[in-house]
Amino acid sequence: MAAKKHVISAQLYTLRDYTYSAKEIVKTMRKIRRIGYTTAQISAMADLEPAELRRLMTDEGVEPISAHVSLPQFADIPAVAAQCHGWGIKHVVIPHLPPDSVPTAADWKKTARKFSAYGKALAKEGIILLYHNHAFEFQKYGIRGGRGGQVGLDILFENSDPRYLQSELDIGWVVRGGHNPVTWAKKLKGRLDQVHVKDWGMLDDEPVWRAVGEGGIEWPAVIRACKASGTRYFIVEQDNCPITNNPFKSMQISFENLQALGL
């Protein structure tokens, strides 16, 4: 049977309170498989050998598709590659860049070159490198007299090699950063195999994370733009779940809403 062109996947950081041991991982994989997830992104898991973690996941019908690996670990590319091979994945993600490490446009350009070098080295191992954004990347640099400037994420992708650095665009954080995710999905066409999907709403006059389709993001337009830009995996993540107080319930709502949207 041919692989699905577009896949709803689970980001396991959402379920980090339920992945702290091998036993809990098995229970969690069973729960998300019952919801309908057949793939997942590794993040915030118990410290297990990569091959053992893969076995625990696949035995329950959940295939690892990528992983978040902290930035300092990329100082040892062979070790990162070995982890990826053990997990059986072809995509690895830099999940966070300290904001104080890129105070200027020049620092963003330097970072772009460094990430390209990481990606080139990983490509030799058959692995694709991605960068996951938050909101700080939408700060502008080079503003003059209150006008103009360029956001950090633009500088990063304009100055990195598209062969060696993709984007794991986080739709929720794009919106939180004051930008249009449709515009960004189009801008990153060809570098957007995987995206993070989550929503924003309001609670007690404060913005809070919501399940996909339960906040204010215009998902039909976002999904169309992502598909047109080559996205295969729509990875559900919710940093916290203040409405349901149950991450499994939130993951289920997101899955069902994305299915209703045609995924």
* Per-residue confidence (pLDDT) for residue 20, from 0 to 100: 96
Residue 50, pLDDT above cutoff 70: yes
Q: Are 172 and 197 in contact (CB under 8 A)?
A: yes
d(CA 228, CA 189): 7
pTM of the model as a whole: 0.97
2 pLDDT higher than 90: no
pLDDT in tens, 146-188: 999 999 999 999 999 999 999 999 999 999 999 999 999 999 9
Any idea which fold 7-260 has?
Answer: TIM Barrel (3.20.20)
Instruction: Return d(Cα 146, Cα 161) in angstroms, integer.
Output: 31
CA dist., res. 257 & res. 214, Å (int): 9
d(CA 215, CA 205): 14
DSSP class of residue 242 equals T
CA Rg value for the chain:
18
Measure the CA–CA gap between 255 and 259, rounded to whole angstroms. 6
